[in-house]
Amino acid sequence: MRWACVVLPQLALDGVLRRRSDPDAPLALVTGTAQRRVLQTVNPAARALGLRPGQSLIAANALTHDFTLVEYDPDEIERWQQFLAAWGYRFSSHVSLCYPRTLLLEIESSLALFGPWPRFEARLREELTTLGFRHRIVAAPNPLAARILANAHDGLAIASDEVMRATLGKMPVERIGLAREVATAFARMGLRTLSQVLALPRDTLARRFPVQVQQHLDTLLGERALALECYVPPDEFDVRIELNFEVASHQALLFPLRRLTADLAAFLAGRDSGVQRFALHLQHAEAVDSIIQVGLLSAERDPAMLFELARGRLEQVQVVAPVRGVRLMARELPAFVPEHRELFDERPQQSLPWEQLRERLRARLGDESVQGLRAQADHRPEHAWQTAGDAEPGSILQGPPRPGWLLRQPVPLRESAPRILAGPERIESGWWDGGDVRRDYYLIETRSGQRAWAYRPLGESGPLMLQGWFA
């Protein structure tokens, strides 16, 4: 038992119904050209009204008007298939969409994780039902056999090749995936079931039918390997939630936001990557989307943290119009490197690592709010320091003591004759970069006992300019 086949008999209808609040109301999917509209699928309630697939829209309207019409959209089906493949990828690393409306999962290697097959199957069924998709599930030793058996069975689990052969043998020839003319030819030869076909000598079958027929039968019995194209999850995350009503307060956006960030975290966990930058689009009915960029300093994927950061940015934003939809896009998904932790941590009481704290502060106070400090080898005080994202020690000039505090802008000293404790020390530099400085610096003590660092530009006689405090 290696492959599970999940057949989705009414994928298009389920895809439409799961979005609607009243799935039991009559509904029909319509397709065809504008001249000849034809019902593609109808739900049970519509069937009860007498609507049938293949009926023309005019005939349907003649019967009743009490049903909803939805356009049948092949792209939509493709999207749901991708969605379900992503869902199946959580259970198995080999997920294939090679047959339409069918999900093939390699299950043998997943059994250790998800328990014995009955429990695993129950879980698959439960989740599919919650998602709102009708399904039939069959497990068989090879993928094609699983697909063919799902035509006639539901809940079948076959472990051995002999049982599979016997069960397949009872299948009618029309339902084993053969081309229609081949199946008709078999039927006219009086062969009704697969076992009768298999009883024929190989060479006579090869003589009368094209080579594909023999190949198909061999694949079905597992005597010929089948190369399946496997589902590869996409490289970016782009999910949108449409709101049923217009939202004007951020409180009401928190629920969809939480769902989106949780989806993103699950997606990242599946790919073993993190996210460093994502965008939140708030979609409006008539205005352009409001875009909120959420940036992190390192790749993260913890759902609670992603939600909190996105929420921190969201709360700051003033939106021009009510919001109709929320969309989360993440394009850069770098590899996730778990944080390095010491076994014997120096600070065992640490409840929030510094990286998370830094992101939280940046989310509320702005990207530039958390800074490091770097020394610059320059005699001019204005150029002696630099803010740095991650500070590495700069070079330090040796010299007379410098004040602990440096004023951002020098201000004139209010006192006229302070006591000069040291100085003058001349700083003359910067003629090469336009920031020419020629000053005499003094260490002074004010009348109230404060020690300050002040200067007077060379050749001027104005008040001393206060530039620092010896704190």
Partner 1 sequence: MGAVVALDDLLQQRRIWKAQSTPLPPSAQPTGHAALDALLPTGGWPESALSEILMPGEGLGELQLLWPTLARLTRSGERVVLVAPPHVPYPQAWQAAGVDLRWLVIIQASGRDALWASEQCLRSGSCGAVLCWPQRADDRALRRLQVAAETGQTLAFAYRPLQEAINPSPAALRIAVDARPAQVRVLKCRGGLPPSAAIPLAAGQ
Classified as helix, coil or strand, 363 is: helix
> Do 150 and 136 meet the contact criterion of CB atoms below 8 Å apart?
yes
Angstrom CA distances, 103 to 5, 40, 137, 143, 373, stand at 6, 22, 9, 10, 56
Provide the minimum distance between the beta carbon of 286 and partner 1 in the complex, in angstroms, as a whole number.
35
- Contacting partner 1 (CB under 8 A), which of 393, 434, 459, 462? 393
> Do 260 and 239 meet the contact criterion of CB atoms below 8 Å apart?
yes
Provide the minimum distance between the beta carbon of 469 and partner 1 in the complex, in angstroms, as a whole number.
4
Question: How far is 268 from 87, CA to CA, in rounded Å?
Answer: 13
Tell me: does residue 59 bind partner 1 (CB under 8 A).
Answer: no
Contact string (CB under 8 A) for partner 1, positions 419-448, x = contact: --x---------------------x--x-x
- Contacting partner 1 (CB under 8 A), which of 381, 437, 456, 464? 381
Could you tell me how many residues of this chain bind partner 1 (CB under 8 A)? 55
Query: Closer to partner 1 at the Cβ: 271 or 383?
Result: 383
Q: DSSP letter string over 218-245?
A: HHHTTSS--PPPBP---SSEEEEEEEEE
Tell me: does residue 316 bind partner 1 (CB under 8 A).
Answer: no
Q: Is 39 exposed, middle or buried (0-12, 13-18, 19+ CB in 10 A)?
A: buried
- Contacting partner 1 (CB under 8 A), which of 406, 423, 430, 463? 406
Provide the minimum distance between the beta carbon of 296 and partner 1 in the complex, in angstroms, as a whole number.
17
Tell me: does residue 405 bind partner 1 (CB under 8 A).
Answer: yes
Q: What's the Rg (C-alpha) of the chain? A: 36
- Contacting partner 1 (CB under 8 A), which of 15, 256, 410, 468? 468
- Contacting partner 1 (CB under 8 A), which of 394, 423, 430, 463? 394
Provide the minimum distance between the beta carbon of 92 and partner 1 in the complex, in angstroms, as a whole number.
40
Give exposure, 353-383, as e/b (b: 16+ Cβ within 10 Å).
eeebeebbebbeeeeeebeeebeeebebbee
Q: Which stretch binds partner 1 (CB under 8 A): 7-15, 116-124, 298-306, 390-398?
A: 390-398
Tell me: does residue 361 bind partner 1 (CB under 8 A).
Answer: yes
Tell me: does residue 297 bind partner 1 (CB under 8 A).
Answer: no
The DSSP secondary-structure symbol of 101 reads T
With a CB cutoff of 8 Å and minimum separation 6, the contacts of 410 are 455, 465, 466, 467
- Contacting partner 1 (CB under 8 A), which of 134, 153, 374, 438? 374
With a CB cutoff of 8 Å and minimum separation 6, the contacts of 364 are 312, 316
Q: Which residue has the tokens 């069924």?
A: 125
Is the bond preceding 338 in cis, omega lying within 30 degrees of 0? no
With a CB cutoff of 8 Å and minimum separation 6, the contacts of 32 are 38, 57
Tell me: does residue 369 bind partner 1 (CB under 8 A).
Answer: yes
Q: Give the footprint of partner 1 on residues 330-359 (CB under 8 A).
A: 346-347, 349-354, 356-357
Query: Closer to partner 1 at the Cβ: 219 or 356?
Result: 356
Q: Tell me which residues touch partner 1 (CB under 8 A).
A: 346-347, 349-354, 356-357, 360-361, 364-366, 368-376, 381, 384-385, 387, 391-394, 396-397, 399, 401-408, 421, 443, 446, 448-452, 468-471
